Every structure is written in structure tokens, then in C-alpha cells.
Amino acid sequence: MTSPTALNMSSSPNAPWTVLVHYNNTDDLQTLIAPAWVDTPNIRSTMDILQSCLLTLFACIYTALHLDVPTKTAWHRVLLSKVGWVVITLFSPEISLYMAADQLQQAWKLKSNLRAIRKKHEGPEYEDLGLNIDLRYAFFIIMGGVRAGVDNMLSLPDLDEGAFGHNSKLLPDSVRLGPKGVTQLAERGHWIRISEKRIDDKSKADTLQKILVVIQVSWMVMQCIARRVNDLPLSLLEIHTMVHVVCALVLYICWFKKPLNVHDPEVTNPRDFKGEIALMLQRQFYSKLSNKLALFPQKDSPDQPPPREEESGQSMRWIERSLGSKLDQFFNRWDAILETYPFENRVELANSTKHIGSSDSPSYKTQVLFLARLEDFSQESKSFYRNLPFSEGKSNIDIDIRGSYDPVDSSWIIEPIEFWFNYPWLLLLAVVLSAAYGGIHLTAWNSVFPNHVEKLLWKISCICVAAMPPIFAGLITALTLVANISEPILDYISQHFFDLVGYHPSDLFLDMAVSIMFTAPFWIAYLLYMVSRVYIIVEVFISLRHVPVGVYVSPSWVQMIPHF
């Protein structure tokens, strides 16, 4: 039997082995002398590819995510939330990119507005605000880093339904200030003073963690470039990983000034602007009751009867504080409001302010100063938290195409066309990001796949992911237009149904039929979109079972660079 020998081969990628010995021959392993210099092996295993790609994926995503201040700060809740967003970003990175770009735009707008207010009111009292209005300060507010103490001003009986989510019976001691609330306070000369040092103390940025991630990402990028230079094929998993590396880079850029891992918000005492906070609470969380409340001049005597409604003749009712009342918080809120906004000329306001609603409104309302007639109590648009003084209950991403809220009917008015008209750049961003994600994966058009079916499904999935967002926008717009003309459609269907069977169908049947008819395309498209997403993720892994041999060859110098 021929004894095994040592071979010193070239370190070129075309020759993957630098030393060959009989690994089962323990004598040779201990006695056979190796060459004076042995290069790093220029071959990698399937596990090497999986390990490097998975570590890069999760490291990039986990460290790049700068989430908002959590409402539940238990460690397992925070971890579950972070893991959940890691999974979301893994399957759909453009959602996180959209979130980051949107937050950057909000922070930039808030910074600009606050600086404009400060410049407009330049004076001795504005010379030293004790704060630096920069992107970091704006991000801290956007992410929920500032809460205002409500000082026992939230009352439960008159609270709007769902004002604090499903658990409205447990009212908070403080509420999350949003960018609009901070801007409104600044316009009245009240500034939320938080120093840079205070924000930095609350931020828990891990420098060592970021350095390790940068090393791993740099190695991944370098080895992919080296493979292209040496004309070595890339696996689908590596292409997919590079997409996430680019996404993580964009996330870092958007969130460069955003504090990281803030779990302890700053709770400010509104003693100097209690009336402003109380008014904002009334407008946002008690809008339904504001349509029924009215202001009158001070009573001439304690036993003065309340006024009567001219239309119905029914007597109105005074709301007065009584011993043991369950509305102490209600009166606390209104005491603060009327102390700051006394509305002393109520008789004049009752005759001069706008009427309520349309021309068929009851005539008595023109003489009664209902809150809804006052601009200070005008209803807040509840389609986006960015339009509200408080962001209580806001999640990390502020997407809501339900339109505006009608507090009288406690219903949402679907106005997606108005949504896209007001925020066209959000639609453009969603379309561009999805198109980029699908398009980059589609560049693997001529890659080697295990079989023809998987290759075809890959192409279809990439095209679906790239094309679905504009299709969704078109379907939503079409559904809205159809909803506006649904009544004649229902009448047409009802009449033809009667001609066929001899009786008119029920309204419930018609509503269900029209709903299925027009929403089915949307749900079919959504299902196809989700299936395409899942297939892309699954295929990048299972395709490793059938790849060109060159995938396992690697330039030896790349393996010498420290990585995981």
C-alpha cells in the first residue's frame, strides 16, 4: 500500500486544498513534516456559509433596531418586543426602513418647528432654555421619552371609548407627549427642558457590541466583493444577507441620532402649563362629550335654573361639584382649563362663533356656547398619532389608513384617498422599498437552482413582492370609490335579484355580497404577497442543497480576517 504524502498546492481559489494527508493514519499525522508555510484553507463548508450569514443577519438587525420607549419594561417583555421586530425585519426589512425614515422625517420636522418658534419669540426669557434643540432631542420626544403628569385630571365616566386601548379602566398617571403637544406648549412659551447629558444617561448604547457587528459586516461585504473579483459564485443566502446589510446601514443612518434602549421616560411636572395639558386632554380623550357640553356666564344666584333648549324646550343641566362626587378628576381638569382659558366674554362668543354642523342644526345651538363651536375645543383628527398632542398607545410604527374618527357615531370614516393625498411620500417610500427588495433578489435570475420549478417560483415571488404595493394602493383606492357609490350598486343588484327569484334580498345579504365581491381581490393579493415573502426566505436556505462547487471555494486571505 502506498504511504500517504504531503502535497503543497497553490493557494489560488482554483485549488482549495493546501495540505493533503491521510487523516486516519495517526502515525503520519505525528511524524510527517508539513511544508515551511501552510496557507489558510481556501475551502468552506455549508455550515461556514450558514453560520456567517445567520450571525451577520441577526447581528445587523438586532443592533440596528432603535425601538421606542416600551410601555412594559419587564426584561422579558422588552426582549420579546425586540425579537418580534427582528423577525419582522428578517421577513420584511422595508417595514423597518419605512419606520426609520418616517421617524427621521418627524424628528426633523419637530426640530425645525421648535427652532422656528424659538427664533420667532427671541427675547431675554428665550436666551437660555437649558436645552439644545437638535435631532437627538427631537428623536427623544418622537420615541416617547417624555411623559406629562396628568395630576389627577383623567376622569373615567366621560372618557371616549377606546381612548387608552382595551384597558381604559386603568388610567395612567402620566401621558406620552407627542410632537404636536410639545409644539403647542412651545408656542405658548412652555418648553420641555431636557439636557443632552440627561438623554445620554437614559440611552444604553453598547459601543463594543457595535464594533463587533461592524467587524462582522465588513468581513461579509469584503468576502462577497472578493468572490465577484475572483469570479466565484455567490449563494442565494449570501445575496439575501447582503440585502439586509444594506438595509441595516440605512437604518443606522436614519437612527444615527436616536437614543438606544431607553426604558425610563422623563416624566415632566406640568405645574406651569397645567391648563394647556388639561385642554389637550379634553380635546383628545373627551371629544365625544365636548359635543354636549356648553359654557355659560357665571350664575347670578346659587338656585338659578339652567337654560332651556329652544328647539325641544327641555331644561339643560348644570354640572356642579358635590361632596363624594365621582367626577373629581373631571372638575380638576376643568378648573385647570378655565383658570388658563377663562372665556370671560361668553355671551359675545355665543353670538359670534361658528354654528355646529350643517344648516339643519337646531336653532338653539346658535345661542348656546357649545364647546364644539370654540376653536380651542375643535376635535383632533385621530387618524395618526403625529396629528395628536399625546401619543399614548402609539406603537413603533405609526401607520393607520382608517381615516378620521367620528366621536358622535364612535366610528371610523375610511378615507385612504385622503390619506395618500396628505402623505404621498409615505406611499412612494413603501413602493420604492418593496420594489428595491424584490428587484435586488431578482438579480439572481440566472443563478443555479435545485430545479426548474424552484427557479420559476423564485422569479414569480420576487416580481410579486416588487409589484404588490402599488397594486394594494390601487385596490384600496378602488374600494373607496366603490364604497362611495355602493348604494346604487346595491339597488341594481336588489332589483335584478327580484326579477330572478321574485323577492328582494335582505340588506345583510347585499352588504355581504358586495363586501365579498370587492374585498376578495385585495385579500387574494395580500395572500399572494405573504406567500411570496415566505418563499424567498425559505428558498435562500434550501437552495444550498444544490449549488455549484465554486460556492465552497474561497480566497484564502479572506478567511484570515477575524470574523464569526
Would you state the cell numbers that stand for residue 455, as one nine-digit string? 427557479
**Averaging pLDDT over each range in 15-29, 344-358, 534-548, which range is the top one?**
534-548
Question: In this predicted model, what pLDDT tens digit does every residue of 203-238 receive, in sequence order?
Answer: 887 777 778 788 888 888 888 888 888 888 999 999
pLDDT band (50, 70, 90) for residue 131: confident
d(CA 562, CA 216): 8
Q: What is the pLDDT of residue 73?
A: 81
Judged against a pLDDT cut of 90, whether residue 142 lies above it is answered with yes
Mean of the pLDDT values across residues 445-455?
Answer: 91
3: Cβ contacts below 8 Å, ≥ 6 apart: 28
Predicted confidence at residue 330, as pLDDT, reads: 86
For all residues of the chain together, what is the average pLDDT? 77
- The C-alpha atoms of residue 351 and residue 51 are separated, in whole angstroms, by 75
Band the pLDDT of 512: cuts 50, 70, 90: low
In this predicted structure, what is the pLDDT of residue 184? 92
Report the pLDDT averaged over residues 47-52. 90
Q: Which residues contact 32 (CB under 8 A, 6 or more apart)?
A: 4, 5, 6, 21
pLDDT digits (tens, 9 = 90+) for 80-101: 999 999 999 998 888 898 899 9
**pLDDT for residue 491:** 60
Q: Looking at residue 370, what is its pLDDT?
A: 65
Report pLDDT digits (tens) over 484-508: 555 565 566 555 555 555 555 455 5
pLDDT over 90 for what percent of the chain?
Answer: 22
Long-range contacts formed by 30-34: CB under 8 A, 24+ apart: 32/4, 32/5, 32/6, 33/6, 34/6
pLDDT bucket at 386, cuts 50 / 70 / 90: confident
Between 413 and 436, residue with greater pLDDT? 436
For cell 375610511, name the residue. Answer: 414
Strands 369-370 and 294-295: antiparallel
Give yes or no for a contact between 179 and 109, defined as CB atoms under 8 angstroms apart: yes
**pTM of the shown model:** 0.79
> What pLDDT shows up at residue 538?
94
Residue 543: pLDDT band by 50, 70, 90 thresholds? very high
Cβ-based neighbours of 64, under 8 Å, separated by 6 or more: 96, 247, 248, 251, 252, 255
E strands, 259-355, in order? 266-268, 294-295
pLDDT band at 148 (very low <50, low <70, confident <90, very high): very high
Q: How far is CA 318 from the centre of its chain?
A: 44
Pick the range with the lowest mean pLDDT from 1-15, 178-192, 228-242.
Answer: 1-15
Q: Is the pLDDT of residue 454 over 60?
A: yes
Cβ atoms < 10 Å from Cβ of 401: 18
Q: Which three cell numbers stand for residue 39?
A: 496557507
- Say if residue 124's pLDDT is above 70: no
pLDDT surpasses 90 at 60: no
Tell me what the mean pLDDT of segment 245-263 comes to: 90
Stretch 540-546: mean pLDDT: 94
Which helix (H) or strand (E) segment is 429 a member of?
helix 424-442
- The answer to whether the CB of 504 falls within 8 A of the CB of 450 is no
Residue 444: burial class (beta carbons within 10 Å; 0-12, 13-18, 19+): buried
385-404 mean pLDDT: 72
Does position 249 have pLDDT exceeding 60, yes or no? yes
Kindly state the average pLDDT of the residues 172-185: 91
| pLDDT at 266 (0 to 100) | 92
Which pLDDT belongs to residue 105?
Answer: 92
- Average the pLDDT over 171-179 and give the result: 87
Give pLDDT, residue 493.
57
Share of the chain above pLDDT 70, in %: 69
Question: Residue 54: what pLDDT?
Answer: 92
